[in-house]
């Protein structure tokens, strides 16, 4: 009988740096970002960069993805670029974002904080790297 072992996908230093750079550039572009974080999705064994913004509700996700793609296309070739398919945009009222903000919102709006294996208002967080929670 064969036994299946799943190896967790790693959050690399390149991913952490690229997420920080994209978050900074979103702020510079005046896209109101309430939260930016890498979130590990154990059911899919992958990391997604979650960007929460009221612009998703106001302008629609397609427009926000277009803004992100424009910023990604202007990033230096020396920086690892996050593929757009690894980014999810959500409304600022997303239940997970609201729960995280309530529990661990950052005072200065920016962070570089790892958050692992914890439950926040009924949401189990296997692993996350939080840049911004404002």
> What tens digit of pLDDT does each residue of 96-130 get?
999 888 877 655 555 688 888 888 888 888 999 99
Per residue in 19-57, pLDDT (tens digit) is 999 999 999 999 999 999 999 999 999 999 999 999 999
Q: Which residues pair with 129 in a beta bridge?
A: 38, 114
pLDDT tier at 9 (50, 70, 90 boundaries)?
A: confident
Within 10 A of 88 (CB to CB), how many other CB atoms are there?
Answer: 15
Model confidence band, residue 4 (pLDDT cutoffs 50, 70, 90): low
Residue 126: which H helix or E strand, with range? strand 123-133
pTM for this model (two decimals): 0.87
Q: How far apart are CA 53 and CA 94, in angstroms?
A: 10
CB of 77 within 8 A of CB of 64?
Answer: no
């Amino acid at each position: 009988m064969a036994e299946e072992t799943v190896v967790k996908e790693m959050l690399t230093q390149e991913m952490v740096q690229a997420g920080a750079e994209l978050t900074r550039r979103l702020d510079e572009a005046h896209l109101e970002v309430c939260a930016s974080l890498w979130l590990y999705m154990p059911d899919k064994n992958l990391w997604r960069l979650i960007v929460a913004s009221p612009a998703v509700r106001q302008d629609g996700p397609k427009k926000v993805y277009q803004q992100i793609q424009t910023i990604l296309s202007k990033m230096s070739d020396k920086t690892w670029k996050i593929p757009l398919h690894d980014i999810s945009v959500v409304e600022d009222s997303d239940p997970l974002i609201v729960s995280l903000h309530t529990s661990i919102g950052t005072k200065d709006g920016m962070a570089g904080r790892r958050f692992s294996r914890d439950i926040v208002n009924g949401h189990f967080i296997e692993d996350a790297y939080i840049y911004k929670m404002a």
